[in-house]
Amino acid sequence: MKKINKNLITIALTSLLISPILSHASDLKMNIKTSPTIRIVGGEIVKEGVRPWMTSLQFDGQHFCGASLISESWVLTAAHCVEDITKNNLNSLSVRSNFISLKSTSGSKASVADVYIHPDYNQQGKNASDIALVKLSTPITNVSFIKLATDHIISASGKPNAMASVSGWGALQQGGNSPDILQKVNVPIVSNQVCNAKEAYDGKISSTEICAGLVKGGKDSCQGDSGGPLVITHEGKFVQAGVVSWGEGCAQANKYGVYARVNSFNAWIDNIKKGNGTGLGGGNGGGNGGEEPQQPEDGTLISGQLVTGLSAQAENELIFKIDVGPDAKLLWLDIAGGEGDADIYLKHEQAPTQEDYDYAPIKWGNDEHILIRKPESGTWYIKIVGYEAFEDLELMGFAR
């Protein structure tokens, strides 16, 4: 008989899942992203029509990340927003621009043709290339799009202490309710030298990132605004200087908001728009090339990459491992789908056994999940054991 492990940390599915349990781990992870989060901190409501290019990325019709309309057929966002999009769930992704209330039916909507993630993006490393393009199936016309900053524009109007602003759908203060009205917050540009100071991010900021915020905190973007635009004013017009990427906490002292620096990626953006790239839905772009993911040869999982087609007989086992960096805030492991009954065991720095492990849900069926907040850095070993024979199992792990 299966034992219940009192020490496990698992996800309460009733609070994370919007629909019944999904067979694809990537879809399950997308549902986590669409769960409510705190967002713009210290902001104010945006007036109708002021930021028509502000875009909502939506999965099954629900907002989960910000974005910006940069042309009639292209939207710019963060790579970490769309890293879980595959050719199997691409048709669930859509965009909506030129509106301020998520509860309204106004604005311009479009389905998505494909998604292009910058090839240097790596969730397990520094998010120095946390940028992605979304190609629309049909163009959004009669809506003003935002111009992207160049090196010249940044030199003229985006120097340290220049005022910028970031917008998104969310609360006016950390821990507050999340109204559905678009909000913005004004924050000054911060030099990379200041952002890399020991009391701030201690050297973690790359030259392809830009920081903004107040040294005392109080105003910031936050998780739900990921992918949204950081804009500056150049010659009286808005220009996009950054893409909301990451930060420690929200609006904390010395912990500035970190953004992908748009002018570092203009060449890549132009190449993708000219057709020199392949997206998640149709080829070799974005990690696994749109092809069916394969079992890693040495058992090392790539964070955020789905592994499919796993099978084993009863009492047989499969061993994997995942590396977790020193700054990771969570470690998530998920098995799902297929037939039979598999159990997942997890242990830090050595392979688990069925008697010696750190975490193991030990549930009936193949759907098991483990979430560890503030995991220890190093290598975590994963063992999947057949309580009964199983086949066509999916495995996904990610550390952030």
Q: Count Cβ neighbours within 10 Å for each residue of 191-204 and write b for 16 or more, e otherwise.
A: ebebbbbeebbeeb
Alpha helices by DSSP H, listed for the chain, are 13-16, 25-33, 79-82, 151-157, 192-195, 266-273
d(CA 153, CA 171): 31
**What type of residue sits at position 342?**
A
Q: Is the dihedral of CA 197, 203, 206, 212 positive or negative?
A: negative
Q: Count Cβ neighbours within 10 Å for each residue of 59-89 and write b for 16 or more, e otherwise.
A: bbebbbbbbbbbbebbbbbbbbbbbbbbbeb
Backbone φ and ψ for 68, nearest 5 degrees, come out as -140, 140
**What type of residue sits at position 367?**
D
3-state secondary structure 1-24: CCCCCCCCCCCCHHHHCCCCCCCC
**Cα 380–78–190 angle (5° rounding)?**
100
* Catalytic positions, written as ranges: 80, 130, 226
Number of residues that this document lists for the chain: 400
Tokens 């998520």 -> residue: 102
